[in-house]
Every structure is written in structure tokens, then in C-alpha cells.
Amino acid sequence: MNDGEITQKRDRHQLGFWAYIMTDCMLFASMFATYMILKNATAGGPGASQLFDLGYALLLTILLLTSSYTVGLANLALHNNRRKEFIGYVAATIILGVSFLVLELREFAVLIHEGHGPDASAFLSAFFTLVGLHGAHIAVGLLWAIVLAWALYRQGRHEDIKRKFGLFSTYWHFLDVVWIFIFTIVYALGVA
């Protein structure tokens, strides 16, 4: 492949990635709209203010926003050829992401154990779908981060890894933005 073909391939990958992000924006927008429509459809059961703990949601938010910071530091380390720092920051990102996911699953388990599962009301169905969809995206992001860290470990630093990590970084920051909306709309406004 010559340089022109490589650039065209890279540009197609970039375009495809941004098309994916836009479809995810539409998916999450529809999930937020559904949640807003169904937030009062509690079937006589408890609503957000009775079920959600704002402090717990804030802890989740801090974990995820901190992981966004470590992704940024990892990106800087990668671009400055500091391989050990990169691996350390990616490891921190993964640990923070896994912690977030475990606590989110714990919240789900507690709600279900108390009889407030997704089948209890339309409100809870919308909640579990929206927050669970975000959690599924976090799980995919964690897998992506592990694969990229492994690739760097095995292959060393090169332009393709930098490009792929840049895409991952954008994806991870996108998930943080989605979480900020979840925190605000679902938890903060729900508890208020």
C-alpha cells in the first residue's frame, strides 16, 4: 500500500467511527426520551426519589470521570512514547471502569432483590434499559482498552496503535458525556 491508500483507509475508518458515534447518539437520545416519557409510570410503586441514592450515583460519576482523566493521561503518554506510563494509565482506566461496572451491577442487584426489577413498572423498565445500555457500552470499552494495551505490549508503539487509541479515547469520553446526562436526568432530577 502506498501512502495515499493508507491515508484513504484511515479516513474511511475515521468516518465509520464517527458514523457509529452518531448512531449511538441517536440510540441514547431515544432511550432518554423513552425514560422521560415513562419516568412517572410507576404502576403504583416507588419512583426515582424513593429508589435512588444520589450519593451512590455521585460515586459512580466520580469513578467514571476519573477514568476519563486517566484515558487522557494515557493518550499523552502514548504520544510522548512513555510506554510504561501508558500501560499504567490504561490499567488505572480499566480498574476504574470495572469498579464503575461492578457498582452499577450491584445497584441493579439490590433493586431486583427488593422487588424493583425491570418488570415491576414501565419506569423501572426504562431505567434498567437506559442505564444497562450504558453499562454494556462500558463493558465493550473495557474490552477494547485491554486489547489495545495488549497490542501495544506485543507490537510496540506505532501510528496505528496511536490512531486506534485515539478512537478509543473519543469513545470513552463519549460514554462519560452520556453518563453525565444519566446522572443529571435519572438521578439528580429524579431524587430532587
Q: How far is CA 112 from CA 29, 51, 100, 140, 191, in A?
A: 25, 11, 18, 24, 19
- 180 in a structural domain: yes
Give alpha helix (H) positions in the chain: 3-38, 48-51, 54-79, 83-113, 122-155, 159-182, 189-191
* Domain count within the chain: 1
Q: Are 63 and 183 in contact (CB under 8 A)?
A: no
Q: How far is CA 39 from CA 47, 102, 122, 130, in A?
A: 8, 25, 8, 12
**What per-residue confidence (pLDDT) applies to 102?**
98
**What per-residue confidence (pLDDT) applies to 192?**
84
Q: Are 186 and 33 in contact (CB under 8 A)?
A: no
- 72 in a structural domain: yes
**What per-residue confidence (pLDDT) applies to 6?**
63
Identify the CATH number of the domain in which residue 74 sits: 1.20.120.80
**Amino acid code (one letter) for 184:** T
How many C-beta neighbours within 10 Å does residue 69 have? 14
- 19 in a structural domain: no
- 1 in a structural domain: no
**What per-residue confidence (pLDDT) applies to 158?**
72
- 9 in a structural domain: no
Q: What is the pLDDT along the chain (192 residues), one digit of tens a residue?
A: 666 666 677 777 788 999 999 999 999 999 999 999 999 999 999 999 999 999 999 999 999 999 999 999 999 999 898 988 999 999 999 999 999 999 999 999 999 999 999 999 999 999 999 999 999 999 999 999 999 888 887 876 677 888 899 999 999 999 999 999 999 999 999 998
Q: In which residue are the cell numbers 458514523 written?
A: 19
Residues spanned by the domain of 76 = 51-191
Residue 93 DSSP one-character state: H
- 38 in a structural domain: no
